[in-house]
A and B are shown apart, each in its own frame.
Chain A
Amino acid sequence: MRIFAAIFATFLLVAPASAQIISPSEMLRSSVTNFIRPQTKAFATRTAELSKAMYVLCENGDLTAAQEAFAKAATAYGRIEFLRVGPLMEDNRSDRILFFPDRKGIGLRQVQQLLAEADPTAATVPGLQQKSVAVQGFGALEFVLFGTGFETLTTSDGAFRCAYGAAVAKNLEEIASDIAAGWADPDGIAKRLTQPDPAYADYRTTTESLEAIVGLVSHGIEAVRDTRINPFIAKGDGKANPKLALFWRSNQTLPMLKANFDGLRRLIELSSVVTDPALAEEVTAAFARADAAFAVVTSPVEEAVTDPAQAAALNDLVIATQDLQRLIGEELSATLGLSVGFSSLDGD
């Protein structure tokens, strides 16, 4: 199975230039069947594993396994976090999974306070769900597992910290399961997106559905650049700020970024929305540029920003996002006859 998947993935990477032209309906169906459903399911699986690993940590003190499970669950989310329609946008789920950027450090402050007070209501899922979104998800769990005092997790002093972390992981498992269920529901958003109907509130026509898919990718690329890369790399003033990077404590900044690019690329490829061979080549080249940059950035983010070669590679990632936004948001939209919505989708 795995070998097949690997061959399939390799094929896809080289395929776009000669991609078959498929109908918009097939593009939509493929987006859901080949990307959204399996990837939301994978996120649910990884968070269930994380939840189990946290339980084991609290019982037997296996910290490394819990930290590794954190990384796997977080990057599984990185592949789908741009799917900002449907279940992810219900019940503040996206903020509860990951409240970021947290410009004022609200989450850190609240988590530290909660740990200092050993607030027992934070150690149960129902109690946790009543609290600020900033203490419910990956940001909070990262501090538990990697932040100041994480060593206590394997001692009796860290019992509350561990119980709180386990509640966060369980909460993530529940949310991820709801998201996967939402997409799996045969009468839910998957149906409305793939078989649009004028009677639906969200997707009335195939064009609107395709606009949604292309819009998700285009906005996803923009969000990666604006919230995950630009804030911490050196810009005009020449000063980098690696502590503004997501997951610098766990050294998951770059794996998360890679997962973001990977998810976006997979949706583009698996949906076959890029039918024009020349455009497909350019999209492949832009992702290759990102891959080349990722290969250079090998140090933890604090060191990477001070090393000229790695800092330049991080800048290259920004350029890759700019290329992709032009290719997807403008050229692909034009090719598909979609409206990029000059007057809409911009919160103005």
Chain B
Amino acid sequence: MWQRRAFLKSAGAGFLASLAPRQLLALEANDLVFASSIQTSAGKYGAVLMGERGDVISMIDLPDRGHDITISREAGRGVVFARQPGTFALVFDPFGNEAPQTLTSVEGRHFFGHGVFSPDGRLLYATESDFEAAQGVIGIYDATDSYRRIGEFPTYGTGPHEMLLMPDGVTFVVANGGIETHPDYGRAELNIDTMDPSVVFIDRRDGKLIGQLRLEAGLHQLSIRHMAVDVQNRVWFGCQYKGAPSETPQLIGYATMDGEIRLIELPTDTLRDLRNYVGSVAASTDGSTIAVSSPEGDLLIAIDAEQKRPVLVETLRNGCGLAADQTGFIATSGKGEMIGIAGAERPQQQFDFLFDNHMLRLG
């Protein structure tokens, strides 16, 4: 299933098979590796691993559309989660030595497209929907036992989307988007009038709620969906507005473990061009800059996390995927383009596949 194109060309299969993990890590250190879900020109779904120059290292087939990817060096595995309301997650060996393993969501649950590993790589966590109860859960999988599902925690809200592990290694932050869906009704949104989105901090060890933050009641149709953590441990989030399209509420904000939550003020023009839709949020390598994207508005914004204001606005048609490189961000699009922004110097590249919403940098 894996096609180690670039490696096979440059070094031959034997080279890759003989690489010890330590050498592979060294390879990563010298040459950033990125991962993304994709759609091929033939309309098939997959995930791709690529070097920082855009060279495709490997490609994997997926049974349906994937979404975000998480990777653990400790586990030696990556996981592609199905786009909501998908029922599969694919565990793969980033170096292609082992065959991938497909996880299927348990009865009464589906995936939301995001998840994380524990710092030691022994546990995998995924945002999931308990759709009968319209409640979010974090599914817990034992990476040391064939990814057996060993339990779940509540997310204390409906429609959880992205989840991250805070730098302390013991606190999850989860964006409860607030939107109820049910597989019986496809992707139809069932509770737009009564949405209740929140950002929650949850103790990874026992699933207890540490804190739940909501924006003011008038913004209850502002679905909080994607996040990134800055150098000050502020959790930056991007929202999608489900209320009247003629309204343009602010869409970018941050939350802290001290209980602060607020939206920052983007200039009217910039806000308008986000089209009430933020598709992904990423932090720079040093955590001082936050990038957000809107594939609806073809817009990318870089924000100074300390000053809390935009420092750069770029356009990229259908641009959504964002990941930090050494000096800035790479951004990818649903049109198969990859560019560098906010200090990343790289030529614009066009691929023969389309990038999904999220780009992951390994390590």
**Chain A: residues with CB nearer than 8 A to chain B?**
85-86, 89-92, 95, 99, 101, 103-104, 132-133, 201-202, 222-223, 225-227, 230-231, 244, 339, 341-348
9 A-B Cβ contacts within 8 A? A227-B188, A342-B39, A342-B335, A343-B318, A343-B354, A343-B355, A347-B179, A348-B113, A348-B161
**Chain B: residues with CB nearer than 8 A to chain A?**
39, 67, 83-84, 113, 134, 161, 179-180, 182, 184-190, 192-193, 223, 225, 240, 244-246, 248, 272-273, 275, 277, 279, 295-296, 317-321, 333-335, 354-357
Are B67 and A103 in touch, CB under 8 angstroms?
no
Are A343 and B113 in touch, CB under 8 angstroms?
no
Q: Which of B67, B189, B296 contacts A345 (CB 8 A)?
A: B296
Are A227 and B185 in touch, CB under 8 angstroms?
yes
Are B244 and A89 in touch, CB under 8 angstroms?
yes
Tell whether A343 pairs with B357 under 8 Å between CB atoms, given A91-B244, A95-B193. Answer: yes
Are B187 and A341 in touch, CB under 8 angstroms?
no
Question: Inside 8 A of A225's CB, which chain B residues have their CB?
Answer: 186
Question: Inside 8 A of B179's CB, which chain A residues have their CB?
Answer: 347
17 additional contacts, CB 8 Å, given A101-B190, A339-B317, A347-B223? A101-B188, A103-B184, A133-B193, A201-B272, A201-B273, A201-B275, A225-B186, A226-B185, A227-B185, A343-B318, A344-B296, A346-B83, A347-B179, A348-B83, A348-B161, A348-B225, A348-B357
Question: Inside 8 A of A342's CB, which chain B residues have their CB?
Answer: 39, 318, 334-335, 354-356
Are A92 and B334 in touch, CB under 8 angstroms?
no
**CA separation between A346 and B246, bound complex, in Å?**
19
Nearest CB of B to A322, in Å: 12
Q: Which of B180, B186, B190, B296 contacts A222 (CB 8 A)?
A: B186
Nearest CB of B to A110, in Å: 12
Question: Inside 8 A of A201's CB, which chain B residues have their CB?
Answer: 248, 272-273, 275
In this complex, what residue of B is CB-closest to A99? B193
Are A339 and B296 in touch, CB under 8 angstroms?
no
Q: Which of A101, A104, A341 contacts B295 (CB 8 A)?
A: A341
Question: Inside 8 A of A90's CB, which chain B residues have their CB?
Answer: 244-246
In this complex, what residue of B is CB-closest to A90? B244
**CA separation between A244 and B190, bound complex, in Å?**
14
Are A103 and B185 in touch, CB under 8 angstroms?
yes
Minimum-distance CB pairs A-B, first 8: A226-B186, A343-B334, A342-B334, A344-B295, A343-B320, A343-B295, A90-B244, A201-B272
Tell whether A231 pairs with B248 under 8 Å between CB atoms, given A103-B190, A342-B334, A347-B240. Answer: no
Nearest CB of B to A59, in Å: 33
Nearest CB of A to B181, in Å: 9
Question: Inside 8 A of B189's CB, which chain A residues have their CB?
Answer: 347
In this complex, what residue of A is CB-closest to B242? A347
Most buried by A among B180, B185, B279: B185
Tell whether A230 pairs with B184 under 8 Å between CB atoms, given A89-B245, A341-B334, A344-B296. Answer: yes
Question: Inside 8 A of B190's CB, which chain A residues have their CB?
Answer: 101, 103
Are A230 and B355 in touch, CB under 8 angstroms?
no
Q: Which of B67, B245, B355 contacts A202 (CB 8 A)?
A: B245
Question: Inside 8 A of A92's CB, which chain B residues have their CB?
Answer: 192-193
Nearest CB of A to B325, in Å: 20
**CA separation between A168 and B245, bound complex, in Å?**
25
Nearest CB of B to A245, in Å: 12
Nearest CB of A to B64, in Å: 13
**CA separation between A202 and B272, bound complex, in Å?**
8
Question: Inside 8 A of A132's CB, which chain B residues have their CB?
Answer: 193
**CA separation between A344 and B355, bound complex, in Å?**
11
Q: Which of A101, A227, A344 contacts B334 (CB 8 A)?
A: A344
Nearest CB of B to A111, in Å: 16
Question: Inside 8 A of A223's CB, which chain B residues have their CB?
Answer: 186, 188
Question: Inside 8 A of B161's CB, which chain A residues have their CB?
Answer: 348
**CA separation between A85 and B248, bound complex, in Å?**
15
**CA separation between A231 and B357, bound complex, in Å?**
29
Question: Inside 8 A of B296's CB, which chain A residues have their CB?
Answer: 341, 344-345
**CA separation between A223 and B355, bound complex, in Å?**
25
Tell whether A348 pairs with B355 under 8 Å between CB atoms, given A101-B185, A231-B184, A343-B279. Answer: no
**CA separation between A225 and B186, bound complex, in Å?**
9
Nearest CB of B to A131, in Å: 11
Question: Inside 8 A of A99's CB, which chain B residues have their CB?
Answer: 193
